[in-house]
Amino acid sequence: MAKTNIIPDKDALKRVGAQVRERIGNDPRAYKVETDKAEIYAFGDFLTGAECERLCLMIDLTAKPSTLHEEDYASGFRTSYSGDLDPYDPFVMGISRRIDDLLGMNPVCGEAIQGQRYLPGQQFKPHNDWFYTTEKYWELERKRGGQRCWTAMAFLNKLEEGGETHFTEVGIKIEPKPGVLLVWNNAKPDGTPNMDTMHAGTPVLKGSKYVITKWYRTRKWT
Ligand SMILES: O=C(O)CCC(=O)C(=O)O
Ligand SMILES: [Fe+2]
């Protein structure tokens, strides 16, 4: 019997991809990045200046050296400071719900919002947000909601130089502008992982960079 290549959560990724695409596609506030390699959208003024400031303060209180499944902080792969914002804080809950609503995502699939701060020289090297299902950590993540489908990330401040979000395969660098929310589908319309969503937080050269990220799973996140 022929061995088929099984992509975990493929059907769910396809379904959620279509669902969110339809919702955002009908949203006049969405700006679609012009490329046929990946589905990337930007929403200007998603957060107010006051909300951005408040989130930056919260990040300063929670951020610790960032960790990754595959690499530790010392590897230099992700040198920012980061931390989950309190998911029961009413202000954070409100922001979280607004992102769910914008995407039309089931709130139970959303991970806790993560805050992140980069100081000069800090960066997040090119990576994909979805999980490599051949890695050991997948055993755990598979049971914690499965594969990541959409990512939502908001810029919270203006920095003097550097710190763009660089989609290396698409060939676009997005300059941080406070209040802008970036949204992208980590999968292709057929539900397979989209390698072309590879992205980096380029090194901050001057100033500091604050962002929040919310990753969505295909199933209930636990
Ligand atoms: O800071 C950035 O521009 C990218 C952040 C990122 O890739 C992530 O949070 O997954
Ligand atoms: Fe990322």
The enclosing H or E element of 167 equals: strand 165-167
Query: In a 3-state reduction of DSSP, which class is residue 172?
Result: strand
Task: State the CB neighbour count (10 A cutoff) for residue 120.
Answer: 16
* Distance (Å) from CA 165 to ligand 1 centroid: 7
Atom of ligand 1 at shortest distance to CA of 118? 1
Query: Where are the chain's structural domains?
Result: 10-24+31-217
Written as tens digits, the pLDDT of the chain (222 aa) is 455 568 999 999 999 999 999 999 999 999 999 999 999 999 999 999 999 999 999 999 999 998 777 666 667 889 999 999 999 999 999 999 999 999 999 999 999 999 999 999 999 999 999 999 999 999 999 999 999 999 999 999 999 999 999 999 999 999 999 999 999 999 999 999 999 999 999 999 999 999 999 999 999 999
* Distance (Å) from CA 123 to ligand 1 centroid: 9
Nearest residue to 18 (alpha-carbon basis) of 121, 105, 134: 105
Query: CA 54 → CA 47, 51, 64, 91, 211, distances in Å?
Result: 11, 5, 18, 9, 12
Cβ of 159 closer than 6 Å to ligand 1, yes or no, is no
Ligand nearest to the CA of 209: 1
Instruction: Check if the interface score ipTM surpasses 0.95.
Output: yes
Ligand nearest to the CA of 80: 1
* Distance (Å) from CA 169 to ligand 2 centroid: 14
Cβ of 43 closer than 6 Å to ligand 1, yes or no, is no
Q: C-alpha 204: how far from its chain's center?
A: 18
Atom 2 of ligand 1, residue of closest alpha carbon: 201
* Distance (Å) from CA 197 to ligand 2 centroid: 9
The residues that bridge with 183 in the sheet, in sequence order, are 41, 152
Q: Which architecture characterizes domain 10-24+31-217 according to CATH?
A: Sandwich (2.60)
pTM comes to: 0.95
